[in-house]
Amino acid sequence: MTMDGNVLVLSGTVDEHTLAALRGMLTGLASTGRPVVVDLGDVDYLPSAGIGVLAEARTAALEQGGTFTLVAPEGKPAQRVLEITGFPHVTSRQHSPGAGDGPGSAAG
């Protein structure tokens, strides 16, 4: 889990070992009222507990007047999970409001 500009980039497995840290990071980001962008392109495994943490963060961000965008490129494991669950997401950072100046963003 790293920050790339204003984008939280996740990689590897989201599981019981990483959920607490992810929840803490997302809670902090969501509480600012600023756009929250989470890049799931390098996530290999996203269980239902991970979806729950993302849903909590989305709700918190929206309640603070911010936005919450998940980026999950086509064909990646996380994209398939989000598609199945119906969780709102985009497939490219170029379509992410507030994605900042990181690589692949529309800003700059």
Report domain extents, the chain: 2-95
Is pLDDT of 104 > 70? no
Q: Which residues neighbour 39 within 8 Å (Cβ) at sequence distance 6 or greater? A: 4, 7, 8, 9, 10, 71, 93
Which CATH code is given to the segment(s) 2-95? 3.30.750.24
pLDDT category at 97 given cuts 50, 70, 90 is low
Give the DSSP H/E element, type plus range, for residue 21. Answer: helix 19-30
Closest CA to 37 of 80, 92, 78: 92
pLDDT of residue 91: 82
Does the structure show a pLDDT above 90 at 108? no
Phi, psi torsion values for 8, nearest 5 degrees:
-85, 120
Residues 93, 4: Cα–Cα separation, whole Å = 12
Of 52, 49, 40, 26, residue with least CA distance to 80: 40
Element spanning 55, H or E: helix 48-63
Does the pLDDT value for residue 18 go beyond 80? yes
Q: What is the pLDDT of residues 43-71, one digit of tens each?
A: 999 999 999 999 999 999 999 999 999 99
At 45 the pLDDT is 94
pLDDT score for 103: 35
